[in-house]
Structure 1
Amino acid sequence: MADLKVGDLAPRFDLPRDGGGSLSLAALLGKPVVLYFYPQDDTTGCTTEAISFSQLKPEFEKSGAVVIGLSPDSVKKHDKFKSKYDLTVDLVADEERKAIEAYHLWVEKTMYGRKYMGVERATFLIGRDGRIAGIWRQVRVKGHAEAVLEAARALLTPASAAPGH
């Protein structure tokens, strides 16, 4: 299966979310969405990334963007994670890895010479039209949320509102 590209329709999902209920991509059509995938709650890189996105959430909201973190952790784990670090971003639980696999992010990884399957840290910026406007794969956490914020702001510029887009 080919990787997703900028311009492709973002795969839809409807998943359980922190605090109860569910969150669907279809319900957010008309708003830019920052969808960041991460391997696991309460690990060093994932915590740093979640805190960075939470700190910048007001800036994302100014640009009209919604920020969603997605991992294979349960809603219960997400609730504990949010509470422990005062996270403000929405977290969705993909325990069956349906969205993770739809975005081609269930990949073979290597740590200390051992191969295993896991979630590739990646972020997708989805435009108001439901199409992918930006992709960051194999993310390095430091400075990442700021880079995504700049791209989200760029979605609001007149250039992105050209005829036919």
Structure 2
Amino acid sequence: MTQETHVIELGQSAPDFTLEGVGPQGETQVESTSLKGKPYLLYFYPRASTPGCTTQACDLRDHLAELRIPGGEGLTVLGVSPDALGALEMFLTKQALSFTLLSDHEHKLAEAYGVWVLKKLYGREFMGIERSSFLIDAQGRIAAFKRKVSPAKHVAWVQEALAQL
């Protein structure tokens, strides 16, 4: 197995994307160009409805009202995984998530962010998502990022990153 890792650096333009997803109002399509003008959080997680991903998503849900950008506006949160729309819809509904989940089933966005990586589990190697989070500023640049995010500590990192905007 080979992997080509893209290097993401602070201040660089965030990779553009158009992805299908599921939000509180149902199926949607999100384009990065429509997000410019206001900061947003793009977080990558391996698989919907797994323990770590559920912990991370529910913690974000529970603290979403506290995640404010300078000026007091709420932060747009987008979760990205290689799951199909059906799995995302079940996850969003079961956990009553109040933000949008995007399907990157071909992992193109994950590759652009360098989070589609070789993983090892119980002696087996496979390609998958490295749990990572990216805060994109109003100009569409990478303002902060964290790789190998701890699901239980993710919200604290987001709050710290927002304070630096």
TM-score (norm 1): 0.89
Letter in 1 for 2:62: Q
**Which residue number in structure 1 is paired with residue 38 of structure 2?**
31
Residue 40 of structure 1 pairs with residue 47 of structure 2: yes
Aligned equivalents of 1:139, 1:79: Cα separation in 2: 23
The answer to whether the 8 Å contact 1:50/1:89 transfers is no
Cα displacement string for residues 24-51 of structure 1 (whole angstroms, at most 9, x for unaligned residues): 1110101111100000000010010000
Cα displacement string for residues 58-111 of structure 1 (whole angstroms, at most 9, x for unaligned residues): 122544421100000011111100111111121011111111111111100011
Aligned equivalents of 1:43, 1:125: Cα separation in 2: 24
Letter in 1 for 2:27: G
Counterparts of 1:46-85 in structure 2, within 5 Å, are 46-61=53-68, 62-85=72-95
Residue 10 of structure 1 pairs with residue 14 of structure 2: yes
Aligned equivalents of 1:85, 1:64: Cα separation in 2: 20
Counterparts of 1:1-165 in structure 2, within 5 Å, are 2-18=6-22, 19-61=26-68, 62-155=72-165
Aligned equivalents of 1:117, 1:60: Cα separation in 2: 32
Q: Classify the secondary structure of the residue corresponding to 2:67.
A: helix
Q: Quick one: percent identity of the two aligned structures?
A: 40
The answer to whether the 8 Å contact 2:45/2:80 transfers is yes
Tell me how far 1:2 sits from its aligned partner: 4.4
**Greater share of strand residues, 1 or 2?**
2
Q: Which runs of 5+ in 2 are unaligned?
A: none
Q: Which runs of 5+ in 1 are unaligned?
A: 156-165
Aligned equivalents of 1:81, 1:112: Cα separation in 2: 26
TM-score (norm 2): 0.89
The answer to whether the 8 Å contact 1:63/1:153 transfers is no
Which segments of structure 1 move beyond 6 Å, counting only runs of 4 or more? none
Tell me how far 1:13 sits from its aligned partner: 0.6
Instruction: Give the alignment's Cα RMSD to 1 decimal.
Output: 1.3
Aligned equivalents of 1:48, 1:2: Cα separation in 2: 28
